[in-house]
C-alpha cells in the first residue's frame, strides 16, 4: 500500500499537467527513430485507444524535438499565368509567408484604388486618344 502521508499536497490546485509521454519508453524511442529518418517515403503511424491523449502527446513530442532544429523555410504557391495548372512555388525564409500574404493583400487593396485612377487621368486619356488616332490613320491607309 502507498503511504499517502508522503504526498506533499492535499489538493490538485497548483499542480501542473505533464506534457511528457509517461511509461511509454518504447513508443518514445520509436517516435525519435522515425522522426530522425531523413529519406522521403517514410511515415509514422501512432495507434492507441481513443481519448488517451496520443495526439497531444505526439504533437508535444514533435514540438520538443523540433525546437532543437533550425526552422524550415516557408513555401508559398502563386498563380502561374502561363499555365494555371502548374502554380509557381516560392521559397521564403522561415516565418515570411505570413508577411508575404499581408503584403500581397495590401498590394491588391492599393491596386484596386490606384489603377482605376490611372486610367481616368488626363495623361492616360490624351495618350489613348493619340494611339487610337494613329491606329485609325493606319487603318485608313491600309484600306
More confident residue, 93 or 42: 93
Q: At what angle do helices 97-120 and 122-142 cross, to 10 degrees?
A: 70
Mean pLDDT, residues 112-140: 89
pLDDT computed for residue 17 by the predictor: 65
pLDDT computed for residue 69 by the predictor: 87
- Please say if the pLDDT value at position 31 is more than 70: yes
pLDDT computed for residue 73 by the predictor: 95
pLDDT computed for residue 49 by the predictor: 85
CA angle, 118 as apex, 113 and 122 as ends, to 5°? 135
| Torsion sign, CA atoms 132, 133, 134, 135 | positive
- Please say if the pLDDT value at position 56 is more than 80: yes
Q: Which residues contact 21 (CB under 8 A, 6 or more apart)?
A: 27, 28, 57, 61
Distance CA 47, CA 40 (A): 22
CA 87 from chain centre, in angstroms, equals: 16
Cell numbers of 5, please?
A: 502521508
Amino acid at each position: 500500500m502507498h503511504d499517502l502521508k508522503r504526498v506533499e499536497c492535499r489538493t490538485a490546485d497548483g499542480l501542473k499537467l505533464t506534457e511528457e509521454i509517461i511509461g511509454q519508453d518504447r513508443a518514445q524511442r520509436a517516435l525519435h527513430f522515425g522522426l530522425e529518418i531523413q529519406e522521403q517515403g517514410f511515415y509514422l503511424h501512432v495507434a492507441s485507444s481513443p481519448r488517451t491523449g496520443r495526439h497531444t502527446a505526439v504533437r508535444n513530442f514533435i514540438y520538443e524535438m523540433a525546437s532543437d532544429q533550425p526552422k524550415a523555410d516557408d513555401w508559398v504557391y502563386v498563380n502561374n499565368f502561363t499555365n494555371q495548372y502548374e502554380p509557381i512555388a516560392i521559397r521564403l525564409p522561415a516565418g515570411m509567408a505570413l508577411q508575404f500574404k499581408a503584403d500581397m493583400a495590401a498590394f491588391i487593396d492599393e491596386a484596386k484604388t490606384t489603377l482605376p485612377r490611372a486610367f481616368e487621368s488626363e495623361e492616360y486619356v490624351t495618350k489613348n486618344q493619340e494611339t487610337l488616332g494613329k491606329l485609325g490613320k493606319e487603318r485608313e491607309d491600309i484600306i
